[in-house]
């Protein structure tokens, strides 16, 4: 077996550094890291992502989750353009 010192070609071409962006209509949002994975009788948000945190969108027009780096951008705000 050979050992690789760099990232695999699949990882090198991906956008892993770019945050997931969610457009919202309110200044107060929450994130549990589960994204669009919702529903079902066995749904447990913490098992799918991280503890729920509440964020406030400030004058920049966006807020970022400290756990998963998801960016919440206020629709028609300064950060959207």
Q: Encode 12-66 in three state secondary structure.
A: HCCCCCCCCEEEECCCEEEECCCCCCCCCCCCCHHHHCCCCEEEECCCCCEEECC
- Among 3.30.870.10, 3.40.120.10, 2.60.260.40, 3.30.70.2190, what is the CATH number of 13-80? 2.60.260.40
What is the pLDDT confidence band of residue 19, given thresholds at 50, 70 and 90? confident
What percentage of the chain reaches a pLDDT higher than 90? 40
Task: State residue 50's pLDDT score.
Answer: 87
Query: Is the pTM here over 0.85, yes or no?
Result: no
């Amino acid at each position: 077996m050979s050992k690789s010192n760099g990232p695999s070609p699949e990882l090198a071409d991906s956008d892993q550094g770019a945050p997931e962006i969610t457009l919202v209509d309110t200044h107060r949002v929450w994130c549990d890291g589960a994204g669009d994975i919702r529903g079902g009788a066995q749904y447990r948000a913490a098992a799918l992502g991280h503890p729920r945190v509440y964020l406030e969108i400030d004058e920049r027009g966006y807020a970022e989750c400290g756990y998963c780096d998801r960016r919440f951008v206020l629709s028609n705000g300064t950060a959207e353009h």
